[in-house]
């Protein structure tokens, strides 16, 4: 009988991957750190371009709104790549797949740095986004597999800490490089981090085989499970509120709170700090009570987003509001674990789809926030839009819970012995 894994309280924690005599003990924290570095690279590469659009537009001779299409191209790559790559690589060993995905991401960033024009840059950003969702999905599965009992969400949260930490550390560094050495230097920086992640994953992440019988057809079975769709719906709609506000946060701060444009980066750093805080707290809460955490964070998001419409009137309260909105990312680890629980034998696809859903939330929130502003409702109307999206997420959550209970009752009736 295998011994239970030791507690996750020491940097020297070692967890056996399998009972095979040839298996070497795995240092859990080093493995998760390696996975997190990959997440840090992806997070930096995804968000840094938002602060360099004027430089990109000037260099490739297009307008700033046209340059913004490279953001949409990357997001589209994430949405498309997550399910496609997860299905096609269903039988791959986890470490080999992670290395391959990070290699594609690194190559995409190096190539983006050499893009000669608008069309080529958009195509390369689309290609660079393809491995994003599958990497995070597989990394989450590996982290949860290695985690001590009762700490799966915290393990996933540590991987996601790379993504949220990128908004606080990686993006400012890359943006500084882009401003002083040109926007292309920012992508080179991201590519170098990705190469470091490959080295660390190769060294510290165990060579975990795909599940027995894994195949593209079995992964596609995730689409037959209602609870998978409910969970993805919460991600794609309920989480959109954060993006409804954050997509227009700069003009909201300068036009409504009358914050100096030079001080905007300091407030945006609070958003990154909020994301890091929410990720840590949310993962701990999810390990204690998964479903209550999902419901609780959605209710919390409604309150925070609605209050931002009033908080945005003053600099101090607006800054606090931005931090609190960042903390709503606390729902991320919980939704990732929920997908693992309801996906059955289609783990890879379900885990990867979560990040497609998050990018759909990004697009939906930004679009609806823009609709409200264009309708003349003002910059702060994005807070109401975000609150309504979170309320919709609560509705999907409740629908999913009722559906699960109904299915459980039906199953109990079908299993009950027939009356004689």
CA angle, 379 as apex, 239 and 384 as ends, to 5°?
Answer: 40
Domain boundary among 210, 227, 262: 210
Name, in order, each residue with C-beta under 8 angstroms of 281's C-beta and a sequence gap of 6 or more: 327, 330
19 within a domain of the structure (yes/no): no
Q: What separation in angstroms does the CA of 409 have from each of 112, 401, 406?
A: 54, 12, 5
pTM summary value: 0.76
My answer on whether 185 and 296 are in the same domain is no
My answer on whether 126 and 183 are in the same domain is yes
Number of domains in the chain: 2
My answer on whether 172 and 227 are in the same domain is no
Domain that holds residue 294: 218-413
Domain boundary among 155, 188, 210: 210
Instruction: Tell me how far apart the alpha carbons of residues 173 and 140 are, in angstroms, rounded to a whole number.
Output: 26
The confidence score (pLDDT) of residue 234 equals 93
My answer on whether 177 and 229 are in the same domain is no
66 within a domain of the structure (yes/no): yes
Name, in order, each residue with C-beta under 8 angstroms of 141's C-beta and a sequence gap of 6 or more: 94, 340, 347, 348, 351
Which residues, given as ranges, of the chain have pLDDT below 70?
1-26, 50-51, 64-65, 210-223, 345-346, 411, 414-420
419 within a domain of the structure (yes/no): no
The confidence score (pLDDT) of residue 7 equals 37
My answer on whether 58 and 196 are in the same domain is yes
The confidence score (pLDDT) of residue 223 equals 66
The confidence score (pLDDT) of residue 222 equals 63
Domain boundary among 194, 210, 226: 210
Instruction: Tell me how far apart the alpha carbons of residues 380 and 57 are, in angstroms, rounded to a whole number.
Output: 28
- Looking up residue 49, the CATH number of its domain turns out to be 1.20.1250.20
The confidence score (pLDDT) of residue 318 equals 92
Place of tokens 């012995």: 417
Name, in order, each residue with C-beta under 8 angstroms of 368's C-beta and a sequence gap of 6 or more: 240, 244, 385, 389
My answer on whether 246 and 101 are in the same domain is no
Instruction: Tell me how far apart the alpha carbons of residues 28 and 6 are, in angstroms, rounded to a whole number.
Output: 10
203 within a domain of the structure (yes/no): yes
The confidence score (pLDDT) of residue 345 equals 67
The confidence score (pLDDT) of residue 11 equals 35
My answer on whether 313 and 200 are in the same domain is no
The token pair that represents 228 in the structure block = 């998978």
My answer on whether 197 and 231 are in the same domain is no
My answer on whether 225 and 200 are in the same domain is no
């Amino acid at each position: 009988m295998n011994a239970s894994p030791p507690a996750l309280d020491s940097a020297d924690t070692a967890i056996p991957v399998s009972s095979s005599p040839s298996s070497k003990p795995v240092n859990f924290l080093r493995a998760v750190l390696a996975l997190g570095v990959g997440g840090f690279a992806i997070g930096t590469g995804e968000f840094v371009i938002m602060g360099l659009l004027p430089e990109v537009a000037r260099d490739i001779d297009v307008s700033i709104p046209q340059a913004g299409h490279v953001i949409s191209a990357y997001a589209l790559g994430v949405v498309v790549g997550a399910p496609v790559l997860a299905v096609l690589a269903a039988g791959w060993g986890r470490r080999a797949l992670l290395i391959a995905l990070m290699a594609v991401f690194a190559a995409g960033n190096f190539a983006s740095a050499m893009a000669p024009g608008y069309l080529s840059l958009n195509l390369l950003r689309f290609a660079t986004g393809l491995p994003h969702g599958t990497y995070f999905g597989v990394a989450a599965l590996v982290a949860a597999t290695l985690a001590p009992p009762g700490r799966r969400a915290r393990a996933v949260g540590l991987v996601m800490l790379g993504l949220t930490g990128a908004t606080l550390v990686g993006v400012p560094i890359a943006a500084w490089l882009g401003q002083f050495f040109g926007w292309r230097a920012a992508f080179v920086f991201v590519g170098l981090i990705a190469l470091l992640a490959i080295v660390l994953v190769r060294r510290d992440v165990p060579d975990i085989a795909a599940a027995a019988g894994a195949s593209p057809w079995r992964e596609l079975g995730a689409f037959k499970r209602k609870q998978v769709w409910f969970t993805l719906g919460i991600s794609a709609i309920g989480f959109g509120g954060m993006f409804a506000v954050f997509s227009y946060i700069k003009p909201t701060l300068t036009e409504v709170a009358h914050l100096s444009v030079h001080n905007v980066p300091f407030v945006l750093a609070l958003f990154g700090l909020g994301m890091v805080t929410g990720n840590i707290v949310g993962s701990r809460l999810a390990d204690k009570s998964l479903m209550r955490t999902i419901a609780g964070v959605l209710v919390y998001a409604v309150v925070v987003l609605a209050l931002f419409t009033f908080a945005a009137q003053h600099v101090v309260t607006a800054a606090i509001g931005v931090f609190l909105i960042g903390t709503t990312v606390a729902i991320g680890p919980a939704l990732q674990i929920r997908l693992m629980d309801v996906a059955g034998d289609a783990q890879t696809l379900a885990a990867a789809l979560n990040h497609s859903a998050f990018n759909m939330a990004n697009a939906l929130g930004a679009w609806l926030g823009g609709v409200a502003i264009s309708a003349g409702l003002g910059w702060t109307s994005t807070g109401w839009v975000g609150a309504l999206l979170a309320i919709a997420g609560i509705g999907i959550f409740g629908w999913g819970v009722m559906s699960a209970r109904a299915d459980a009752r039906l199953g109990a009736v079908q299993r009950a012995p027939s009356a004689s």
